[in-house]
Amino acid sequence: MTTGQRGRSDLIELEPPVEKAFLVAVDTGAEAGWTAEDSLAELAAPAVDARAEIVGAEWQNRRHVDPNWYVGKGKAEELLRAKSETGFDLLVADDELSPGQQRALEELVKTKVIDRSRLILDIFAQHARTHEGRLQVELAQLEYQLPRLTRLWTHLSRTQGGIGSRGPGESQLETDRRIIRDRIKKMKERVEEVRRARATAARGRDRRLMPTVGIVGYTNSGKSTLLNSLVGSDVALAEDKLFATLDPTSRQVRLGDGQTAIVTDTVGFIHKLPHQLVDAFRATLEEVNRADVLLEVVDASDRHAPEHRATVQLVLDELGAGSKPRLVVYNKVDLVHPVAGEGSGAVAPAVAEAVYVSALTGFGLETLRLQLSALLASLWEDVDLHLPYTAGELLARVRERGTIDIDYRERDVRVRGRVTPALAGELRRAAAAWTAALRNGSNGAPAAGEGAG
């Protein structure tokens, strides 16, 4: 258990483990700040969540992983002795294994072998509660499974061809691959439907001109607890386990200076996150791209916080959101500083685009609201443009959500001031359309005073 994790209640009766797991890793020294021992300690958490009992671990220092055995041949043979000593019936590798590596280890140790990607996919499958979450997890599992079918099927019996067909027909393996490819195609179409539905919902939020904030961070850093604390109720699932949140939860949150924003909690990231999951959850993670500002939640009590931040940045870069405006929130400071345990009455410091909070005690939440409000306000844009009188609905929203002056002229309305980025874009599009209509002598151009108010 890492320093930043809070222990589960003794009143919760955990289910007994179903497998004895042995963990194995290779340390190539390629990742600064991470050792194989650290990575295995993190890997143990999802293994326990998957109801495995950790009975041992081994790691090896090598320049690169062995292409045949993952670990070296000698270390692989040592796993046989470890099996006789510990009785493990599941071997878990810390990196993604090729089908050949997986098959070679299974033949050697005569037991089931899985890798980090498969384990994380299994945890995601356990925690997927909504139709959308299950859909995206299943797609990731299918894409992971497809190249590994060779080890899943031991029978290669031929199916007979029909009348007039040539050759012995299609092998069972080819049939299974085709079935999975067809399934993947259908699942991608359904995930695309999810993406379109989310885009439609996002446009609806833009029409309300509410600024949007996406909560991102390493898994188990307290993102869901933070959202619950900001809202003032338990709207997001907050559990002391990895990947408790798979489906984004969006709520209105009151900020400083009377401002309100839509804040969305998203799935947590992890070291060596399987690429299948990033691809499958892209529809959900697009909430991050649509956000005006990101709240990056960091577990202040975890000694690997810098490495966690690097992992988060890597995934955000892959999503195309790595350079978005961001406020860093160091959470769980009650575990490292006694003042934070006093609750919301204590004043939290704000330091260079970062704020220190305890979502559990309420410490620093008011500072966070003010900092976030100031960051959103700094993103507002200056506009000076002309709109037709017929843009009454848009002008009404400008009055409500912007700091602007409106000058009703002979043929159009001049709008000057500062507005949110989303509203600025809508205003510029409307102004460009009006300018084009005037240039083309469109009959749609209103007469003076038409549609005023």
pLDDT value for 246: 57
Residues in the chain, pLDDT under 70: 1-17, 150-171, 202-209, 233-247, 257, 280, 283-284, 338-352, 442-453
pLDDT value for 211: 81
pLDDT value for 340: 55
Going from N- to C-terminal start, the domains of the chain cover 19-124, 210-378, 381-439
pTM score over 0.75: no
pLDDT value for 209: 60
pLDDT value for 207: 54
pLDDT value for 51: 86
pLDDT value for 336: 85
> Mind listing the pLDDT tens digit for each residue in 211-231?
889 999 998 899 989 999 998
Fold classified for 19-124 = Rossmann fold (3.40.50)
Contact criterion met (CB below 8 Å) for 246 and 137:
yes
Asked if the domains at 19-124 and 210-378 fall in one CATH topology, the answer is yes
Contact criterion met (CB below 8 Å) for 117 and 274:
yes
Q: Which residues contact 30 (CB under 8 A, 6 or more apart)?
A: none
- 3-state SS record for the chain: CCCCCCCCCCCCCCCCCCEEEEEEEEECCCCCCCCHHHHHHHHHHHHHHCCEEEEEEEEEECCCCECCCECCHHHHHHHHHHHHHHCCCEEEECCCCCHHHHHHHHHHHCCEEEEHHHHHHHHHHHHCCCHHHHHHHHHHHHHHHHHHHHHHCCCCCECCCCCCCCCCCCEHHHHHHHHHHHHHHHHHHHHHHHHHHHHHHHHHHHHCCCCEEEEEEECCCCHHHHHHHHHCCCCCCCCCCCCCCCCCEEEEEECHHHCEEEEEECCCECCCCCHHHHHHCHHHHHHHHHCCEEEEEEECCCCCHHHHHHHHHHHHHHHCCCCCCEEEEEECHHHCCHHHHHCCCCCCCECCCEEECCCCCCCCHHHHHHHHHHHHHHCCEEEEEEECCCCHHHHHHHHHHCEEEEEECCCCEEEEEEECHHHHHHHHHHHHHHHHHHHCCCCCCCCCCCCCC
Fold classified for 210-378 = Rossmann fold (3.40.50)
pLDDT value for 414: 94
pLDDT value for 126: 80
